[in-house]
Structure 1
Amino acid sequence: MAAGFADVLIGLQYGDEGKGRIVDAIARDYNIVARFNGGANAGHTVVVEGLNLALALIPSGVINQSASLYIGSGCVVDLAALAKEIQMVEAAGLSVRPRLRISPYTSIVQPHHIFLDRAFSSDIGTTGNGIGQAYADRALRMIAGELLNIRCIDLLQNEFSVVEQMLRNLENATKLYPSIERPKRSVIVQTISEAIELVRPLITTDPLYLSDAVEKGASVLFEGAQSYELDVARGIVPYVTASHTCAGYAYTGGDVPPKFHRKTIGVAKTIMSRVGKGPFASELGGTRSEEYCMAENGRRHNRDYEKKSYDAEKLLKSDDDFELGIGLRMVCGEYGTRTGRPRRIGVFDLEQLKKAVRANYIDELYLTRCDLLEHFRRTKRAEIPLRTPGSSDTNGTSIAFENAWELQNAQSLPRELEKLVTMTEQSCGVTVRGIGVGPERSQLIECR
């Protein structure tokens, strides 16, 4: 039997590009969809035939019932969050447990990780899910005889000792910060025990599980969490995630040898956004927008606040880029999938995208949220702004609107979108394979 292959799909900007909807759309072409990095800090939304699923840990290919699912050793798993998500998806009528397997080497997000994250990570704007602390303990391994990096394989060997070790780690952490309210021990024990009962049967005992499947002919789609600009090594520290988000890491974190690699797929959205603090060259409103969005770690000006406080139509007509950014966020629904935090809004940045395409050697590109570009028609300038190579801010070039849009197929694309696709391909040296013109699976237009 001929060996299979693996493709890698990653986001090329700052996250929330719509990776999940692209994975869902192309998952039918693969036997297995696998995660290779991150944890419950990744919010992917999949919309199909009226079913709207907000996923954090389960691969977005879950709606394709013929695909198996895998969580690789490069991930960190919050057992309670995963158990809750599995129950949520199964309640929607989808099969999960018979199809999902977890690497024995995947590290576990423990209660003290979440405790420390929520207490001390507001300066960089994390989601508070303990992801960075879990990766830190993976590197620390052990301190003063206490095991810090607990992996899924440990659950298979001695579940009781794992729970006891987690509780000791929490106790040691809370002793260092006695002024911070600690979670109740009884609640933690019950929550962890219930989660272990559900998740433990999904942990494979074979670290070569996925590698063997590919060697026997299976095709794998690796689904990246977060995005290229947030890579722990290549992003701008400290405003990065805690894991590697580049395409090359898929084979380390996904447990397959790189010899099986076939192609790399990139996803970018045409109205950009960023959650959390950090540089964002094409941001509408610049540092003013960043400070506004990150007030109280993103909780002050959340989705509900803006809905009550602003008239989006008036903001879209504003000469102030900061106000325009708020208006676009409201009409585009750019808020955290799980948190409701406001996403900072920016114009499509071809200079940034070109760098990301080259760094990951992208073979084909999907552009998402293209339908939302029509909101720029309602602005005073009535044109689509772009940041192009050589421009220092949001004032690069623009595409003027001509006629009303009808988004049906690649043969009848509006001229504005045709121009955008052409500019992207020429600037970045990559083929645009498809464009998203809505959240539904049917609203992905194939260009090539």
Structure 2
Amino acid sequence: MSQRKSAVILGAQWGDEGKGKIVDVLSEKFDMVARYAGGHNAGHTVIIEGKKFVLQLIPCGVLRPGCKGVIGNGVVLDPMAFLSEVKKLKDVGLPIDGQLFISNRAQVILPYHRMIELAAENAPGRTKIGTTSRGIGPAYEDKMHRSGLRVVDLLNSALLRTHIQNACFEKNTIAHALFGTEPLDPKSMYEEYARAAEQIAPFVTDTAVMLNKAIDDGQKVMFEGAQGALLDIDHGTYPFVTSSSATAGGAVTGTGVGPTRIGTVIGVTKAYVTRVGEGPFPTEIHDDSADLLRARGQEYGAVTGRPRRCGWLDLPLLRYSNMINGTEWLVVTKMDVMDECVDIPVCTGYKINGQLTDVIPADMRGYESIVPVYTTLKGWNCSTEGITEFEKLPQLAQDYLKFLEKESGAKIGMVSTGPDRAQTMTLPAFAEALKA
């Protein structure tokens, strides 16, 4: 990992790759974990000795004693969702005070953001993106429009009152005119969010200063992505993407830590692929195999409960993701979900209009023209659950992982063979790199 003791960890496809568990496992080796993008639309599930934690805004590192959690400036913060999550963690005895910090530059989600998103997503004639309707997109819109409210402004009661009055006048007018939505009351909104600001204030600091100082002091920092690289606003399957920079580049802009201070990039991929919501999915399965993977992998959204679409591993997409992120290491999750597959097709290339290609199309028409080219590998057809040493995996499972590594261009560092923290194997080369 070189002498720089920091790493970005992100989803290699469309999210839901099991990053939460992997961040939790790796956070034992890190002093701080910083979220750099997204909002409370990203659910990370962590299971520790059978106990389940679903984190949405709060970085998974806080589940480790002594590991600090940071919500970076690239995140959009819903104050109510944050306080609700803090309460749940405190209720189970986790020490949050002094362990968790929010950037004073993060943007704030307010009720009118949810109102606008919900109305727009359900408006006649609009292309459905499949959002969670939690106000994420409209909050980022306001950020880019330079009319958003930042956490530092949330703590200024006079500014907060004026901002809410002006924003409600504008948003109520727009929502009523376009969608016939009932108006929101700025007075009650101000009172609710002024109270929330008082509870949030102890967590707020300049996290860019904090993170850079930690690196200066020789501490290890992990930058935790949300969603996945193919949902990135620039490099994903636009317009069916999220509203922020989910790639490794987002870690730089979303925390205020320069690119030369980040030592490595770790991509998380399932042994197969899933996607939630609308959008292209070249290797989507339309037969009983999808039901098998969904049932065995519990493929339902941690936040929304929505069933995930399932597909075979797509190597052209994985290579593209590895390229745009500079991925050095891969973590393969849900290996055990494939235990009952007799044959495992893996997409190794695309045909577009009869031409073999490895180039990912930029537009929707290109995706619609893709015919995946498959190589079929034999399934191992026995249990891999809980195996923590590579050599103890069935030979056909080892062959599958070696094929994935060779074809993807990144080194496999870890393999997850079950949902629990303990059901994880770390390969020796990766273990050595983490010590650097």
Please give the alpha-carbon distance, in whole angstroms, between the structure 2 residues aligned to 1:422 and 1:398: 14
- For the Cα contact (< 8 Å) 1:4–1:215, is it kept in 2? no
- For residues 5-404 of structure 1, the aligned pairs below 5 Å read 5-122=5-122, 123-141=128-146, 148-156=147-155, 158-178=156-176, 179-183=180-184, 188-205=189-206, 207-285=208-286, 321=287, 323-376=288-341, 382-390=342-350, 393=371, 396-402=374-380, 404=382
Please give the alpha-carbon distance, in whole angstroms, between the structure 1 residues aligned to 2:323 and 2:168: 43
Q: Bigger CA drift: 79-88 or 181-190?
A: 181-190
Aligned to 1:303: none
- 1:267 offset after TM fit, Å? 0.4
- For the Cα contact (< 8 Å) 1:153–1:205, is it kept in 2? no
- 1:429 offset after TM fit, Å? 1.7
SS at match of 2:402: helix
Q: Counterpart of 2:40 in structure 1: which amino acid?
A: A
Aligned to 1:301: none
- 1:190 offset after TM fit, Å? 4.9
Aligned to 1:304: none
CA RMSD of aligned residues (A): 1.9
- 1:4 offset after TM fit, Å? 5.9
Change (3 A) 1:182 1:92: farther
Equivalent residues, number: 398
Q: Please, what TM-score do these two structures have when normalized by structure 1?
A: 0.84
SS at match of 2:263: strand
Aligned to 2:431: none
Please give the alpha-carbon distance, in whole angstroms, between the structure 2 residues aligned to 1:98 and 1:21: 23
Q: Please, what TM-score do these two structures have when normalized by structure 2?
A: 0.86
Q: Counterpart of 1:396 in structure 2: which amino acid?
A: Y
- For the Cα contact (< 8 Å) 1:117–1:129, is it kept in 2? yes
SS at match of 2:415: strand
SS at match of 1:240: coil
After superposition, what is the alpha-carbon deviation per residue over 1:290-314, rounded to whole angstroms, capped at 9, x for unaligned? xxxxxxxxxxxxxxxxxxxxxxxxx
- 1:79 offset after TM fit, Å? 0.7
Please give the alpha-carbon distance, in whole angstroms, between the structure 2 residues aligned to 1:163 and 1:53: 35
Please give the alpha-carbon distance, in whole angstroms, between the structure 1 residues aligned to 2:391 and 2:188: 58
- For the Cα contact (< 8 Å) 1:232–1:244, is it kept in 2? yes
Please give the alpha-carbon distance, in whole angstroms, between the structure 1 residues aligned to 2:182 and 2:337: 43
Q: Counterpart of 2:46 in structure 1: which amino acid?
A: V
Change (3 A) 1:213 1:446: closer
Q: Counterpart of 1:397 in structure 2: which amino acid?
A: T
Please give the alpha-carbon distance, in whole angstroms, between the structure 2 residues aligned to 1:206 and 1:411: 42
SS at match of 1:353: helix
- 1:184 offset after TM fit, Å? 5.2
After superposition, what is the alpha-carbon deviation per residue over 1:20-49, rounded to whole angstroms, capped at 9, x for unaligned? 110000101111100111111111111111
- For the Cα contact (< 8 Å) 1:111–1:170, is it kept in 2? no
Q: Counterpart of 2:170 in structure 1: which amino acid?
A: N
Q: Counterpart of 1:329 in structure 2: which amino acid?
A: R
Please give the alpha-carbon distance, in whole angstroms, between the structure 2 residues aligned to 1:44 and 1:163: 34
Aligned to 2:390: 410
Change (3 A) 1:190 1:324: farther
SS at match of 2:33: strand
- For the Cα contact (< 8 Å) 1:27–1:64, is it kept in 2? yes
The share of aligned pairs that are identical, in percent, is: 34
SS at match of 1:221: strand
After superposition, what is the alpha-carbon deviation per residue over 1:98-150, rounded to whole angstroms, capped at 9, x for unaligned? 21111111111122111111111251111111111111111111xxxxxx211
Change (3 A) 1:61 1:242: same
Change (3 A) 1:351 1:161: same
Please give the alpha-carbon distance, in whole angstroms, between the structure 2 residues aligned to 1:126 and 1:182: 22
- For the Cα contact (< 8 Å) 1:335–1:341, is it kept in 2? yes
- 1:349 offset after TM fit, Å? 1.3
Aligned to 1:424: 404
Q: Counterpart of 2:240 in structure 1: which amino acid?
A: Y
Change (3 A) 1:51 1:189: farther
Q: Counterpart of 1:353 in structure 2: which amino acid?
A: L
Change (3 A) 1:107 1:374: same
Q: Counterpart of 1:95 in structure 2: which amino acid?
A: P
Please give the alpha-carbon distance, in whole angstroms, between the structure 2 residues aligned to 1:186 and 1:335: 38
- 1:63 offset after TM fit, Å? 0.8
Give unpaired runs (5+ residues) of structure 2.
Answer: 123-127, 352-369, 429-436
Change (3 A) 1:442 1:205: closer
Q: Counterpart of 2:426 in structure 1: which amino acid?
A: E
- 1:401 offset after TM fit, Å? 3.2
- For the Cα contact (< 8 Å) 1:77–1:107, is it kept in 2? yes
- For the Cα contact (< 8 Å) 1:68–1:100, is it kept in 2? yes
Q: Counterpart of 2:226 in structure 1: which amino acid?
A: A
After superposition, what is the alpha-carbon deviation per residue over 1:215-252, rounded to whole angstroms, capped at 9, x for unaligned? 12221000000111011011122111100111122112
SS at match of 1:396: strand
Please give the alpha-carbon distance, in whole angstroms, between the structure 2 residues aligned to 1:26 and 1:12: 17
